[in-house]
Structure 1
Amino acid sequence: MSFQELSSRERGKKDSSITLDNIKVDICIFVFDIMFSNGERLLALPLRQRRNYLKELFPMEKPGYLEFANEMTVEADEACLSNESMLTKVNTFFEVACKSSCEGIMVKSLDIDAGYCASKRTDAWLKVKRDYVEGLGDSLDLVPIGAWHGNGRKAGWYSPFLMACYNPDTEEFQSVCRVMSGFSDSFYIEMKEFFSGDKLLSKKPPYYHTDESPDMWFSPELVWEIRGSDFTLSPVHHAAIGLVHPSRGISVRLPRFICSRADRKAEDCSSSADIARMFSSQTRKMEVVDRED
């Protein structure tokens, strides 16, 4: 899709093309950190000092155009598990972020080891996602039905995997999502050995329903527990298609492998009806609109 023209994939008509000149989008910049100021490198400064620089540089917010990212500060003397009031505030802050369709929150050190470490993972910056918290993530039992060839460090392995649920009424496997996180290197090696020989299919079976085109198709052999942040409608995946939306299926945002379910057969995985119910009951409600024009 070019930057000069956007076309409607659903309608698929030439006269449905629109140019960028006809599109107006309001953009708001959310500022959360600063690395340089007036030619001075600030990466080594603690976060508390960088935030002060940020407020001096942008003393006024302009709602809808330039705003500071939402934040809350917990001082050292408040950060203890016995402080129920503070724990309630933190939990509320996290829940509001999740309900606003954010992945979660970042927990950062303010003063100790609080420099900006670009492109590095440190204990001073901790990511807390919805699916990391027990009771907030939605867990599904899905079947790997295909995969792509891995790239980079995963070259020679399968990554990502295409996951599917089962519709017992039609005896079809319907795709739900791609999964590429939560696996160990040893698991990748094990799966490359497992999905070989007669477990690799020469073409997509008629009982696999998806608009995805993986590099290889698997026979339905395994069941994996997958946890994601929430559910969303998808034009590509066919899980529960027709149960919530007439032409779109349901997918999972930020899916992550949890474990193998050796106790379950492929037909015993999560059903399309299960996924439709979970979509309808999720905390973050989505407006489902069917456009026929």
Structure 2
Amino acid sequence: MLDAECNGFLYEIQVVATDRKNGNKLMSFQELSTRERERGSKDALVTTKSIKVEVCIFVFDIMFFNGEQLLTLPLRERRKCLKEVFPETRPGFLEYAKEITVGTEEASMNNQDTLCRINAFLEEAFQSSCEGIMVKSLDFDAGYCPTKRSDSWLKVKRDYVDGLGDTLDLVPIGAWHGNGRKAGWYSPFLMACYNPETEEFQSVCRVMSGFSDAFYIEMKEFYPEDKILAKKPPYYRTGETPDMWFPAEVVWEIRGADLTVSPVHSAALGLVHPSRGISVRFPRFICKRVDRNPEECSTAADIAEMFHAQTRKMNIKSQH
């Protein structure tokens, strides 16, 4: 597949678990993480027969090709180079990331055809179990900027779109000391749901996104040293060990991309998986729920129901 003259390339890919026996259906990240890999000594090998989860490589971009750095080239030209490196693809094994192109003359909020195309493309991504899409500039300010955020690259994820994603009412039960810019504040926070059957607060996720600096200051005042608990209460159930434990006093609305099985968090333990709980991927703070008491937050049964109802399915039997 590669040109014999090619003397090196560096490209951006994503490795995704795929079900080749079911139309190359994409599978969840948790299923990919269970894929057999080398462990222990350097002589340990993974046999073909031991691999239960197949993977597909999706190619997104290229940064280096035949001795030339391509970072400053616009995306349109980098895509041409990609086709030189990989002139052929193989569904379920090596594929280009799906894409659509919107020209300057089409890029208008009043162009209904363009809006329909973009919405359909986004919905197709969600239905294919993708987390979202990337919107990239093709020609203007369209270089590759590693480790740097740019307005010419925008993420549109499931939880960024109104009406999509799972919204939960959760209780902060602990936190870690912040680092870097967040030094002196609490970040991230450990969030929990409530199980009325066992009268436990069960951890769901860590959240560190969606907060303003003013909110961090407010939380530092809300949880002073004398309010921090001396040890974890017996009715807090989690595999996490935060730097401090908080009393269950407030409820926050949290939005996430999807729900997944977790070996650390205990939400809905036994309701979906016999030995693992449920966690939220990419959680983000939305607002405080001043109208709810901690025992009125999302329950373990609520989370189990949302897990089973979500579009992005995963094979529970593969989670050992």
Distance across 1 between alignment mates of 2:250 and 2:83: 53
Q: Helix, strand or coil for the counterpart of 1:77?
A: coil
1:91 aligns with 2:119: yes
* 1:9 corresponding residue in structure 2: none
Deviation at 1:29, TM superposition (A): 3.1
Contact 1:176 1:252 in 2 (8 A): yes
Where does residue 144 of structure 1 map in the other structure? Answer: 172
Counterpart CA distance in 2 for 1:257 and 1:65 is 37
Aligned residue type for 1:275: I
Whether 1:206 and 2:241 are equivalent positions in the alignment is no
Which range moves more in the overlay, 55-64 or 155-164? Answer: 55-64
Q: Residues 128 and 38 from structure 1, CA distance in 2 versus in 1: closer, same or farther, beyond 3 angstroms?
A: same
Of 132, 145, 157, which aligns to 1:117? 145
**Is it true that 1:5 corresponds to 2:40 in the alignment?**
yes
Task: Give the Cα separation in 1 of the matches to 2:317 and 2:69.
Answer: 49
Q: Distance in 2 between matches of 1:4 and 1:241?
A: 28
Determine the C-alpha separation between the residues in 2 that align with 1:210 and 1:132.
28
Give the secondary structure class of the aligned counterpart of 1:160: strand
Structure 1 gaps, min length 5? 7-18
With normalisation by structure 2, the TM-score equals 0.80
- Which blocks of at least 5 consecutive residues in structure 2 are unaligned? 1-36
Q: Which residue of the other structure, out of 21, 29, 32, is the alignment partner of 2:46?
A: 21
- Looking at structure 2, the residues matched to 228 and 48 of structure 1 have their Cα atoms a distance apart, in angstroms, of 33
TM-score by length of 1: 0.86
C-alpha RMSD of matched pairs (Å) = 2.3
- Deviation of 1:277 (Å): 1.6
Of the three residues 63, 67, 75, the one matched with 1:39 is: 67
Amino acid at match of 2:46: D
Classify the secondary structure of the residue corresponding to 1:81: coil
Q: How many residues are treated as equivalent by the alignment?
A: 279
CA displacement at 1:282 relative to structure 2: 1.2
Equivalent runs, 1:37-116 vs 2, <5 Å: 37-116=65-144
| CA 38–21 in structure 1, closer or farther in 2 if over 3 Å, else same | closer
- Counterpart of 2:266 in structure 1 is 238
Q: What SS does the corresponding residue of 1:78 show, helix, strand or coil? A: coil
Deviations 1:85-144 (A, max 9, x none): 433332232223234443211101111221222222222111101000001121111000
Instruction: Classify the secondary structure of the residue corresponding to 2:312.
Output: coil
Q: How many angstroms apart in 2 are the aligned matches of 1:166 and 1:48?
A: 50
Specify the SS of the correspondent of 1:176. Answer: strand
